[in-house]
Amino acid sequence: MRTPMRTRVKTVLAAVAAVVMVAALIGCAREPEPALRIGTNVWIGSEPLYLARELGRFDAAVVQLVEYPSASEVLRAFRNQAIDGMVISLDELFGLAVEGFDPRIILVVDVSHGADVVVGRDGMRTMKDLKGKSVAVESSALGAFVLSRALAVNGMQASDVNVVHLESNEQPAAFDKGQVDGAVTFDPYKAQFLRTGAKTLFDSTQIPGEIVDLLAVRASVVQQRPRHVQALLNGWFDAVDYMQRDPKDAARRMGIRQQTSGEAFLEAQRGLHVPSRDENLRMLGGAAPELVVTGRRLMTLMLDAKLLHKSVEIERLLEPKPLAELQR
């Protein structure tokens, strides 16, 4: 007995609909949400992220770390949408905000307390010994900021030194060849300078609270990918917990990546304060976020030194919600 035409048509349409539905499901399965790409430069303050990865705290399908040779390249990658977030200093974040890139601070990674320095040749004792000399400075806001503050604290002007723009990884070789007489630097490069006889002429203990490193992501990431942000923050605090439980092993692991010994890494870490979750919540949230006070002072200094051409609303850059909702 033949099947009526109407019935056959209905059967065919149902089969087509089923195929389309299956294809759609397969398509969804093949296109998972991409991993959160976080950019860092070679800097000891970023190492807890890599420790978290080594300890297996990051699923590569959720969080991926991308290391660049310098902070300038991290900023370039963010501008070019090659990364979703980054470890960045507060002054550099202001620059991105002024340019309209809409970053959001989700974590204070560290506060510099001696980690950022200006070094000079053996025999130099103060910043005034750099007068008329060439100083290597990375082509980023942070390098310019540290130099401007070092000069100001010592009663000097920007015109007192000759700035040579070199990426942080290029500076030790230039110093060794006599191409520059000083440099604005940080570990692990700071240790390289000191091993060759350079002297510390200025460090960030003289400007307490002014140099702050942050973990920042695009505003759209906070809204659209909260699970990824939570995974990133959880991994960070798992690594910090491990650093407190077994500091020697943590330093050994992180030192390998920084091409230094565990003991040297621990020594370098003394120049940083890593805020706890509670400290972070006070800095980013509440009725009077502490980072706003620090940020306003820093912004004023940057505007006066012409390192920033207009102010930004600091409160709008703070995003404490992911940290407040973190399940630990």
Residues in the chain: 328
- State how far the Cα of 287 lies from the Cα of 76, in Å rounded to an integer: 34
Omega prior to 188 cis, within 30 of 0: yes
Give how far Cα 134 sits from Cα of 63, 116, 160, 193, 300, Å: 41, 18, 10, 15, 27
The helix/strand/coil state of 248 is helix
- pLDDT (0 to 100) of residue 297: 84
Instruction: Give the integer Cα–Cα distance in Å for 272 and 89.
Output: 13
Largest CA distance in the chain: 106
Structure tokens at 29: 């399965």
Tell me what pLDDT residue 254 has.
Answer: 95
Which residues, including other chains, have CB under 8 Å from residue 136's CB and lie 6 or more apart?
164, 165, 166, 170, 171, 174, 175, 180, 182, 183, 184, 185
Cα–Cα distance list, 161 to 129, 136, 142 (Å): 10, 10, 17
Backbone angles phi, psi at 313, to 5 degrees: -85, 105
Q: Which two tokens stand for residue 185?
A: 């630097």
pLDDT tens per residue across span 6-49: 555 455 455 545 555 544 554 545 467 899 999 999 888 999 99
Output the pLDDT for position 118: 97
DSSP state, residue 110? E
Amino acid, single-letter form, for residue 33: E
Q: Does domain 36-111+211-324 fall into CATH 3.40.190.10?
A: yes
- The C-alpha angle 229, 230, 232, rounded to 5 degrees, equals 65
What's residue 11's pLDDT? 55
Helices (H) and strands (E) in the chain, counts: 15, 11
Omega of the bond leading into 172 within 30 degrees of 0 (cis) = no
The CATH fold of domain 116-206: D-Maltodextrin-Binding Protein; domain 2 (3.40.190)
pLDDT recorded at residue 238: 97
Looking at the DSSP bridge assignments, the partners of residue 40 are 67
CA distance 45 to 271: 10
- Supply the pLDDT for residue 31: 64
What pLDDT, on the 0 to 100 scale, is given for residue 10? 53
Helix axes 262-269, 247-257, angle to 10 degrees: 100
Residues of the chain with CATH 3.40.190.10: 36-111+211-324, 116-206
> What is the per-residue pLDDT for 128?
97
Measured from the Cβ of residue 292, the count of other Cβ atoms closer than 10 Å reads 16
SS3 202: strand
Helix ranges restricted to H, 166-320: 171-176, 189-195, 219-224, 226-245, 247-257, 262-269, 277-284, 290-304, 314-317
Chunked mean pLDDT (size 10), the chain, 328 residues: 49 51 50 89 92 96 94 93 96 93 96 92 96 90 87 94 92 95 91 92 90 95 96 97 96 91 91 93 93 88 86 95 88
Q: What is the pTM of this model?
A: 0.79
Report the b/e string of 105-120 with b at 16+ CB within 10 A: bbbbbbbbbbbbbbbb
